[in-house]
Structure 1
Amino acid sequence: MKGVAMIFAVVLAVVYLAATPGDAISCGDMQSSLSPCLGYLTGGGEPSESCCGGVRSVAGSLQSSQDRQTACNCLKSAASSYNVQPEIASNLAGKCGVNVGMTVSPTMDCSQVS
């Protein structure tokens, strides 16, 4: 769960700093967009282009603080389902060419996301 929380924090940071105009995204849509990243997050190597496309898609879909808080909670709720390696997850944004520009934590309080 800790590892998935880390991926959530990384994706949330990407969303916070690199959001572009788009429609709001549901938890199901977000999970679908990020599903190509699972192999990378659990085993390492390099994220696929479809994974990075999913990261960019999610980032572009979350515009408001409420959107980002919702995304935070969606990803945290999925955290217990996967064996994500936190050290690999923390590199996802950079591997996809997105500058996170902030420290992320697997214990992030979603209500504090702005």
Structure 2
Amino acid sequence: MKGVIIVVVVLAMVQLMVEPSKAISCGQVDAALAPCVPYLTGGGNPAPKCCDGVKDIKGMASSTADKRATCNCVKAAANRYPSLKDDAAETLPTKCGVQMDIPVSRTTNCDKYVFLP
């Protein structure tokens, strides 16, 4: 599992260096949320690196298009983990002290969700 996380982080970093002007990518979102997987699947409290990732996502997703793309990436990531606890996903931003417009959910319709600028 650690090897997979390291690979995702490295790929996200490479993509950031190669294409810094592109919109937010699912690779960036996956890398930011990778440290959150133990919390999202097992509960307890999110690790500091997880909360750093949540804060990074908030900082990256400033426009409505970025927020919508991020929402879709979060939704796709959540659907890859069948053991994800919905209540842990819902409370993740609050536990990290971050107010997010982007819901962490498997079921959100990101295309119809209204994101405030």
TM-score (norm 2): 0.68
Mark the CA change 1:81 to 1:52 in structure 2 (over 3 Å): closer, same or farther: same
Contact 2:40 2:85 in 1 (8 A): yes
Tell me which residue corresponds to 1:69.
Answer: 68
Pairwise CA distance, 1:60: 0.3
In the alignment, structure 1 segments of 5+ residues that lack a partner are: 1-22
Match of 1:43, as an amino acid? G
In the alignment, structure 2 segments of 5+ residues that lack a partner are: 1-21
Q: CA RMSD in A?
A: 2.4
Q: How many residues align?
A: 92
Tell me which residue corresponds to 2:55.
Answer: 56
Match of 2:55, as an amino acid? R
Contact 1:24 1:63 in 2 (8 A): no
Contact 2:76 2:106 in 1 (8 A): no
Distance in 1 of aligned mates of 2:60 and 2:25: 9
Larger relative contact order, structure 1 or 2 (CA cutoff 8 Å, min sep 6): 1
Contact 2:71 2:103 in 1 (8 A): no
Q: Deviations over 1:20-61 (max 9, x none)?
A: xxx843110110011000000000111010000000001000
Distance in 1 of aligned mates of 2:105 and 2:33: 19
Q: Share of identical aligned residues, percent?
A: 42
Give yes or no for the alignment of 1:81 onto 2:80.
yes
Mark the CA change 1:28 to 1:64 in structure 2 (over 3 Å): closer, same or farther: same
Contact 1:41 1:88 in 2 (8 A): yes
| 2:38 partner SS | helix
Tell me which residue corresponds to 2:26.
Answer: 27
Distance in 2 of aligned mates of 1:102 and 1:76: 10
TM-score (norm 1): 0.69
| 1:110 partner SS | coil
